[in-house]
Amino acid sequence: MIDFKEFIRRSMDGPVMAEQEFDLKLSRQLRRLAADYSVHFQPGEVICDDATADAAFQAAVELLGDVGLYNVDTNRIIFLGREELEATCRDTPKQFTRGAGKDAVTVRARSHNSPVAPHAFRWPLTHSRYLGKEAFLFELLPVYASDPTELGDLARELGPRLAGVENKVETVGDTMWAAAAARWCLAVARVTGHPDMFVGTITTIGVPATLACFMGDGLYQKHHSGISVATMPELKINWDRLQLAFIARQMGLARFIGGVSILGAYARNAEETAILSTATVLAQLSYTNADWANMALIDVDGYRSRRRTLTAQSGAIRAVERHIGLATTGLQTPRNGLGSALSLYEKAAMTIEQTCSGISWTWHHPYHPGPGGEPKSDLDYELVDGVARAVSGMEREQANDLLNRIVAVYEERWDVLEKGKPYAYYYDLKTLTPRQELVDLYRRVEGELAGLGLPL
């Protein structure tokens, strides 16, 4: 890791460049480096091979020395040298522990063919999968308002407090919603008998809202969560990201970063996106010494499950796996909606690609108490965890063959969008008991996936 004061100095004293000029240089150099290092994905291969992953990593290192990292607040370039990046790789943590006591879980970096499955975390509050954090929480509050537990007390308190408050970044509403979500997650954890569990990452990007989750009674302790210290894609940072990195270290908070590059923007294809995502992780690690990275790539249309996006993500995950050894995660967010068979094929494909590329953990929502407080999870948790366990240790060639069969199912119908129905249509929000039609759908698709060769 580069000395933090040196990183600040470079943000103030580095070469000045207009942002548009930086973007153009980045695009040109990505094109050149992909050719110079022969980063090329073979047709029919989603899971990246060793040589291509190595080439993507070396191209990423050169990219940071030639193009650098861009501070959008100072319009200055922060160049990162090869020796500095090699030291960053050596210093990067190879595992992290979240939770405390009986709820502590240690997650270690995995290899692409590790027989140990990624750890599946269950979290109490969704933030994007079904209705959005605000809508989902407002669905829950009336359900629990009559509960004779602290969830009932909290539901009666939060409803009036949040009514009419817009969750908008860099406003007081953002801070209020972040603190409310933290209180709700901790209350769920306590009622289900896991008061010290890891309740998930904070999804807000505002500095005050992020810090508010850790400041006050009923809010997070260090072991409950971590904060995003670098969410800006495409080799860009600002003072807010640097402030969060500094504050997180001062407070001893877990730090996570994102290698979430966009295929079809500055990077034209899967090869360039893999290089850019790897470089983004390297650059962010150089000033954060983060505990883990989210590698959930996305294309310019907002989708994660297309073959080219899966391939780019595999290249980046494998480059990190082989040269950094950082614990990584991904997302299994499908294009099609809840209750759609195509969405389950998408989730299976994303899980296989990520597991067989080397991610260390997956995350799922929601996790809530049913009658009597017993923990309940939705069917997505079972599906993703089951698929990840089934393919852990699978060799690359076998995984590629399997992926080709599964991806073809929804690729052939990509022009058909199955929107599905809201979460509250399929689940009793208090018990998380799914409707039988949803259970039947999951069981049917699981049988079809097994027929395609997935050893569930």
For the chain, which residues make up each domain, given as ranges? 95-105+112-262+329-451
Distance CA 273, CA 56 (A): 10
Q: Please check the confidence at residue 252 and state whether its pLDDT lies above 80.
A: yes
- Do residues 104 and 223 touch, judged by C-beta distance below 8 A? yes
Q: 328: part of which helix (H) or strand (E)?
A: strand 327-329
Q: What is the pLDDT of residue 129?
A: 43
First and final C-alpha spacing in the chain: 41
Q: Could you count the other beta carbons within 10 Å of the beta carbon of residue 90?
A: 10
Q: Is the pLDDT of residue 110 over 60?
A: yes
Chain-centroid distance of CA 345 in Å reads 19
258: which strand partners?
294
Q: How far apart are CA 3 and CA 286, in angstroms?
A: 9
Percent of the chain having pLDDT more than 90?
Answer: 74
Q: What are phi and psi of 83, to 5 degrees?
A: -65, -40
Closest CA to 317 of 233, 260, 241: 260
Nearest to 122 by CA among 320, 426, 443, 375: 375
Question: What angle, rounded to 10 degrees, do the helices at 307-323 and 50-66 form?
Answer: 80
**194-251: pLDDT as tens digits:** 999 999 888 777 888 889 999 888 899 999 998 888 777 789 999 988 998 999 988 8
CATH topology of domain 95-105+112-262+329-451: TIM Barrel (3.20.20)
Extended strands (E) in 367-455 = 367-369, 375-377
Task: Report angle CA 254, 260, 262 to the nearest 5 degrees.
Answer: 165
Query: Residue 106: beta bridge partners?
Result: 97
Number of H helices, E strands in the chain: 16, 15
**What is the spatial distance between Cα 226 and Cα 247, in angstroms, rounded to a whole number?**
12
Helix axes 172-191, 133-144, angle to 10 degrees: 50
Q: Which two tokens stand for residue 42?
A: 């073979």
- Residue 451 confidence class, pLDDT cut points 50, 70, 90: very high
Residue 44: burial class (beta carbons within 10 Å; 0-12, 13-18, 19+): exposed
Length of the chain equals 456
Radius of gyration of the chain (CA): 22
The gap from C-alpha 191 to its chain's centroid, in whole angstroms, comes to 27
Quickly count: other Cβ atoms within 10 Å of residue 1's Cβ.
16
DSSP 432: -
The whole-number average pLDDT for the span 418-445 is 92
| 8 Å CB contact between 313 and 297 | yes
Mean pLDDT of the chain: 93
Where do we find the tokens 């980046």? 316
Tens digit of pLDDT for each residue in 295-333? 989 999 999 999 999 999 999 999 999 999 999 999 899
In this predicted structure, the answer to whether residue 193 has a pLDDT above a threshold of 60 is yes
| For range 400-412, the mean pLDDT | 97
Q: What is the pTM of this model?
A: 0.95
CB within 8 Å of 435: residues ≥ 6 apart: 425, 426, 427
How many beta carbons lie within 10 A of that of residue 35, not counting itself? 12
CA distance 185 to 188: 5
Residue 132 has pLDDT above 70, yes or no: no
DSSP secondary structure letter of residue 71:
E
At 35, the pLDDT band (50, 70, 90 cuts) reads very high
